[in-house]
């Protein structure tokens, strides 16, 4: 039996908990996330391409840069939550040159944007910028959730492109099993009128709808359980900091263009277009079988957002001979930002990628490297001109 | 700690945890039902159409105010933004072509 002092101490600590919890919740919305140093390399419309500051000297870095493509419905700082718990920070330490393509926050002016535009218009331009900035002819790419679908679109449309390796995380690809997810049940074509909904949106599917849709999949766990967890860990500052970062991420979503939402439901969810091979972009057939790059397909065993049934078959549709499938005992979000990620998934992913990020096989890209040589030539010409001028001046003085 | 397994409060916490688990399972079953799916689908369609009509009125009022203030309307700003994005893409295409051209010229110079 605990002594009276211990009971009083416990009671006092318990009394301070509500105030601590309220403070943790209220400050979570401004919790500093994404603190790994980076610079903006390029922008187009709302999208931004960032390069993270390498932490290892160039000689120790892998020659092929890594481009991260996050889901277009969430902020990408899930990959860079806080120092010590950041995937991006981890990959930098492993010697990778890391780039992040942030889709940004779309507005009503982007209402016509489709998922095809993400994969066929925006991503190829970003990849070219990565090539130009890094001077590398090849780029490894990682896509997460909807980002993985965009990556597949890109890879299928650019089979002769610069993609060296492809990492797919929790990819909602195969919709042939209709009972697989509550999302597919909610948006079943028998009752969900996508045209009516999409056309009456204000150009975008608001982030609160996406956020609450995700939360409703496990309503009690998300609406109540999350706060019980905070209550339980309130006296552990490190744990509270993790909770705050995650709470901010969950409540800081981004909208999806109405066009992309409509296409997602109609073509991908109902039509299973990517799998059936019926999908075309600007008249070009999207054939997953034409993707031959080394691929790592990562699945979350307890994923309730993208059940394994939707992503475990990815390898069957690709033409890649170097195909690795990895099942991690985690949830959809916890797989990348959970307490075990740093010790489990991240090292596996880095090792797989490091093995395949050796010497480049393609010629150098057009862009920065070329510009550098042009700049050198220009400098030479200028020096020649200056020398000529100086000689002339000397002659005149004489 | 109060409500920990070793304290008298553990019983209360235990009941609360069991309640949460039961409630979680019940709600999960509800949201997985066809009845919930149809209700949600109807609710989304209704919400979208209702807010669309309200938005329509708001935008109409906004357009009148914009005209009165002699500033661009919402639709005009949207169109302008779209044109800017198209322009950005065209410039990016030009940049890509120029880079390619410079590269070819560089290759030719190197060949000479």
- Decide: A255 and A105 in contact? Cβ < 8 Å: yes
Q: How confident is the model at residue B106 (pLDDT cuts 50, 70, 90)?
A: confident
Predicted confidence pLDDT, tens digits, chain A (398 residues): 667 888 788 778 778 888 999 999 999 999 999 999 999 999 999 999 999 999 999 999 999 999 999 999 999 999 999 999 999 999 999 999 999 999 999 999 999 999 999 999 999 999 999 999 999 999 999 999 999 999 999 999 999 989 999 999 999 999 987 666 888 889 999 999 999 999 889 899 999 999 999 999 999 999 999 999 998 899 899 999 999 999 999 999 999 999 999 999 999 999 999 999 889 998 899 999 999 999 999 999 999 999 999 999 999 999 999 999 999 999 999 999 988 898 999 999 999 999 999 866 555 555 544 333 333 444 444 444 444 433 343 433 43
> Which among A210, A216, A211, A242 is positioned nearest to A229, based on CA atoms?
A242
Which residue from B minimizes the CA distance to A194? B45
- B 71-100 → A contacts, CB under 8 A: 77-78, 81-82, 85, 88-89, 92, 96, 99-100
Asked if A11's CB is within 8 angstroms of B42's CB, the reply is: no
Alpha-carbon span B18 to A364, nearest angstrom: 61
What 3 state SS string does A55-86 have?
A: CCCHHHCCCCCEEEECCCCCCHHHHHCCCCCC
Whole-prediction pTM? 0.87
The 10 Å Cβ neighbour count of residue A138 is 22
User: How far B53 CA sits from the closest chain A CA (Å)?
Assistant: 9
Instruction: Give the B window 39-58 contacts with A, CB below 8 Å.
Output: 40-42, 44-45, 48-49, 51-52, 55
- Specify the pairing of strand A139-144 against strand A66-69: parallel
Which residues of chain A does B44 touch, with a Cβ-Cβ cutoff of 8 Å? 192, 197, 209
Q: How far apart are CA A289 and CA A6, in angstroms?
A: 66
Contact A200 B52 (CB under 8 A): yes
Q: Are A305 and A171 in contact (CB under 8 A)?
A: no
Taking the CA atoms of A174, A175, A180 and A183 in sequence, report the sign of the dihedral they define. positive
Sign of the alpha-carbon dihedral angle for A225, A171, A358, A154: negative
Spatial separation of the C-alpha atoms in residues A97 and A95, rounded to whole Å: 7
Name the minimum distance, in Å, from the CA of A373 to any CA of chain B: 8
In this predicted structure, the answer to whether residue B50 has a pLDDT above a threshold of 50 is: yes
Confidence of residue B112 (pLDDT cuts 50, 70, 90): low
Q: How many helices (H) and strands (E) does chain B have?
A: 3, 0
ipTM of the complex: 0.86
Q: Residue A145 — left, alpha, or beta (φ > 0 → left; ψ -120 to 50 → alpha)? A: left
Q: How far is CA A319 from CA A5, A162, A295, in A?
A: 68, 17, 10
Classify strands A139-144 and A323-328 as parallel, antiparallel or unpaired: unpaired
Q: How far is A381 from chain B (nearest CA, A)?
A: 15
Do A101 and A126 contact (CB within 8 A), yes or no? yes
- Chain B residues touching A220 at Cβ < 8 A: 20, 23-24, 27-28
Nearest to A196 among B45, B81, B92 (CB): B45
Q: Could A44 and B85 be called an inter-chain contact, meaning their C-beta atoms sit closer than 8 Å?
A: yes
Instruction: Give the mean pLDDT of B18-40.
Output: 92
Contact B81 A109 (CB under 8 A): yes
Task: Give A196's contacts in chain B (Cβ within 8 Å).
Answer: 45, 48-49
Residue to test with chain A: of B4, B103, B104, B107, most A Cβ within 10 A: B103
Q: Is A314 exposed, middle or buried (0-12, 13-18, 19+ CB in 10 A)?
A: buried
More confident residue, B108 or A299: A299
pLDDT of residue A375: 38
* 8 Å CB contact between A149 and A115: yes
Find chain A residues with C-beta within 8 A of B82's C-beta.
109
Residues 17-36 of B with CB under 8 A from A: 20, 23-24, 27-28, 31-32, 34, 36
Instruction: Map residue A257 onto helix, strand or coil.
Output: strand
Report helix, strand or coil for A322: coil
Contact state of B1 with A14 under an 8 Å Cβ cutoff: yes
């Amino acid at each position: 039996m605990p002594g009276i002092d211990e009971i009083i101490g416990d009671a006092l600590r318990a009394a301070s908990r509500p105030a601590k919890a309220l403070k943790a919740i209220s400050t979570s919305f401004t919790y500093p996330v994404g603190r790994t140093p980076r610079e903006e390399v390029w922008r187009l419309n709302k999208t931004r391409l960032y390069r993270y500051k390498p932490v290892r000297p160039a000689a120790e870095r892998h020659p092929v840069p890594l481009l991260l493509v996050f889901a277009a419905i969430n902020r990408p700082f899930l990959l860079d939550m806080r120092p010590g718990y950041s995937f991006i920070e981890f990959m930098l330490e492993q010697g990778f040159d890391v780039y992040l393509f942030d889709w940004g926050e779309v507005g009503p002016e982007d209402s016509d944007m489709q998922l095809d535009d993400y994969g066929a218009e925006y991503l190829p331009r970003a990849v070219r910028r990565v090539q130009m900035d890094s001077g590398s002819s090849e780029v490894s790419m990682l896509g997460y959730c909807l980002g993985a679908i965009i990556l597949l679109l890109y890879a299928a449309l650019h089979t002769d492109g610069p993609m060296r390796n492809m990492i797919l995380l929790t990819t909602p690809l195969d919709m042939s099993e209709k009972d697989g997810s509550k999302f597919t049940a909610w948006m079943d074509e028998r009752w969900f009128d996508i045209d009516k909904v999409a056309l009456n949106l204000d150009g975008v599917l608001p982030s609160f709808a996406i956020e609450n849709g995700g939360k409703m999949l496990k309503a009690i766990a998300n609406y109540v359980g999350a706060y019980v967890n905070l209550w339980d860990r309130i006296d552990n500052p490190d744990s509270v900091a993790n909770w705050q970062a995650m709470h901010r991420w969950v409540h800081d979503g981004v909208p999806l263009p109405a066009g992309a939402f409509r296409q997602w439901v109609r073509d991908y969810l109902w039509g299973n277009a990517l799998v059936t091979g019926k999908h075309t972009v600007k008249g070009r057939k999207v054939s997953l079988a034409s993707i031959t790059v080394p691929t790592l397909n990562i699945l979350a065993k307890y994923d309730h957002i993208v059940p394994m049934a939707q992503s475990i078959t990815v390898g069957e549709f690709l033409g890649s001979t170097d195909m690795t499938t990895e099942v991690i005992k985690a949830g959809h979000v916890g797989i990348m930002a959970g307490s075990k990620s740093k010790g489990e998934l991240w090292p596996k992913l880095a090792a797989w990628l490091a093995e395949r990020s050796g010497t480049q096989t393609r010629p150098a890209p057009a862009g920065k490297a070329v510009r550098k040589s042009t700049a050198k030539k220009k400098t030479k010409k200028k020096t020649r001109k200056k020398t000529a001028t100086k000689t002339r001046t000397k002659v005149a003085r004489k | 700690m109060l409500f920990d397994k070793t304290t008298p409060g553990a019983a209360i916490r235990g009941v609360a945890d069991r309640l949460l688990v039961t409630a979680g399972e019940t709600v999960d079953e509800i949201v997985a039902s066809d009845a919930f799916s149809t209700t949600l689908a109807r609710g989304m369609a209704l919400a979208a159409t209702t807010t669309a009509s309200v938005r329509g009125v708001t935008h109409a009022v906004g357009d009148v105010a914009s005209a009165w203030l002699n500033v661009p309307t919402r639709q005009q700003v949207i169109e302008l933004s779209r044109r800017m994005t198209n322009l950005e893409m065209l410039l990016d295409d030009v940049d890509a072509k120029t880079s390619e051209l410079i590269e070819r010229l560089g290759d030719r110079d190197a060949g000479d």
